[in-house]
Structure 1
């Protein structure tokens, strides 16, 4: 198989060499040279030189030809280095680099699928709780407690929003639309969306943002990440009548949005890991509701939008999230 491939590759070269020799002999013939024996000798010598050259070339490339004419059983077989010529050494290097790129893309895809599957499994497990509560409420003979039903529906809605945003994150660039948005309007809308959560936990928002303060961002994604920050601030404020302070300041070309709560705070051992996927930490185990994806998604979105995201916290005193817009 390798020999046949070698012949096919060099048949044009052999024909070309024969044509060159015949052309030279024709020139000699037209110039008056008529010695047939010399012509035959020249043809034989040329043929021997061509065959010797091709034979030597075939011997050097035999291992390479054998490699490319046999289908590999493993990837290691395909990545063996058998080339001798500069051209084929470069070809092997090209395919090795192509394989490295392919492996990287496969690993990224596998990691993404694994993350999606793990998140979906955790989310389904989390959604069993509000569904079970709703079933219990419907089974009670007493009048339906609409407030309790609404709380569970809100939990399901927040969970659905997170799943939807997690799915859209894979095609973030296609879904992103940067524009000038009024920061106070976005924050106010986010607080209003979660007003029942504030009322249920008896935590009160306090906002200090100028009406005319404008930042460059995507309003939909910004609303989502602010929702994560605010709901976390409320959920981890266990004492009643506490406050969540939302303030914004502009320094030169930067706008800093600060969300500070008076909750339980984050342990130092968890602080550097709270933005990792599926990391629930000590606080997540206390509530039993955390999927470990909220701050991870928020961090990923902030990076894609070009917003700087910082977390400061002290156990027992609360947590401060600083979002910087450039």
Structure 2
């Protein structure tokens, strides 16, 4: 197979060399030099030199040609190093680098698939709870509409999270950057979660100037705020507490604060709350955390060019800052 490939590769070179020899002999013939024996001798010597050159070249390329003539059974077969010429050495270096990029892409795809699968498994498990509660409520003689609505809201929040997680993979196609009025976005997010505040007896306090705007994507910002507000309310166990949402200017930057009066995050967990599937001590206490909310918020902030800062003290509450 290697020899056959070599001949195919060099057949044009052999034909060209024959053409050159015949062309030179034709020039001598037209010039009056017409010794046939000398012409034959010149052709034979030329052919010997050409085929000697090709034979030596084939010896140097034999292993490489044999290798690429047979389809590899594994990546190890394809990445063997046995080249001897500069061209083939460069080709092997190219293949090694190509394989490295391939491995990185495969690893990234595996991590994303594994993360998505794990998230879906946890999400499906959690969605069973509100469905089971709704089924129990429907069996009662007197229908408690407020309780059913509360469980429906939990389902909506869960569905929104899994949809946003799926869209995050194609974030650039779904992104629309614009000047956004911050107070309008915050107010709309609060209204979407008003039943959550009422049920948990927590009160939102908004202190944002109506004129403040930021450059961002309104849909993704609203989703992030929803995660911050949901966490703030969910981890505020005492009634009549507040979630304060306000804005400060810091060296030309706009900083949005979401500050609660909840149980706070333990110091040992604070640096890991934005890791995927990390629920921590608080998540285990409630049993409702997927560990994906703050991870998605962190990913969104990075893609939008914002900075996410989380500060907390156990027993006093948590402050989430988005720096625009």
Query: What TM-score, normalized by structure 2, do the two folds share?
Result: 0.98
SS in 2 for 1:250: strand
Alignment pair present for 1:6 and 2:18: no
Residues 30-54 of structure 1, C-alpha deviations (whole Å, 9 max, x = no match): 2222222222221111111111101
Name 1:58's counterpart in structure 2: 58
Measured after TM superposition, the shift of residue 249 of structure 1 is 1.5
CA distance in 2, matches of 1:49, 1:65: 22
Paired residue for 1:164?
163
Q: Which moved more, 1:245-254 or 1:157-166?
A: 245-254
CA distance in 2, matches of 1:67, 1:219: 56
For 1:276 and 1:229, how far apart are their aligned partners in 2? 15
The count of aligned residue pairs is: 324
In the TM superposition, what is the alpha-carbon distance from 1:84 to its structure 2 partner?
2.0
1:37 maps to 2:37: yes
Structure 2 residue ranges without an equivalent (≥5): none
- Residue aligned with 2:41, SS: helix
- Note the C-alpha offset of 1:252: 4.7
* Matching residue of 2:228: 229
Are residue 76 (structure 1) and residue 80 (structure 2) matched?
A: no
Give runs of aligned pairs for residues 42-191 of structure 1, distance below 5 A.
Answer: 42-141=42-141, 143-191=142-190
**CA offset at residue 24 of structure 1?**
1.1
Q: In the aligned structure 2, how far is the partner of 1:129 from the partner of 1:154?
A: 13
- Residue 25 of structure 1 and its aligned partner are, at CA, apart by 1.2
1:135-191 Cα offsets, whole Å, 9 max, x none, are: 1111123x1111111111111010011011011111111111011111001001111
Shift of 1:200: 0.9
Indicate the RMSD between aligned Cα atoms, in angstroms. Answer: 1.1
TM-score, reference length from structure 1: 0.97
Moved more, 92-101 or 123-132: 92-101
Aligned equivalents of 1:16 and 1:201: distance in 2? 88
What is the CA-CA distance between 1:87 and the residue it aligns to? 2.0
CA distance in 2, matches of 1:119, 1:12: 59
How far is 1:55 from its partner?
0.5
- Per the alignment, in what secondary structure is the counterpart of residue 319 of structure 2? strand
Cα distance in 2 for partners of 1:48, 1:166 equals 69
Match of 1:307 in 2: 306
Q: How does 1:241-320 map to 2 (within 5 A)?
A: 241-320=240-319
- In 2, distance between residues paired with 1:52 and 1:251? 78
Mapped partners of 2:8, 2:206: distance in 1:
79
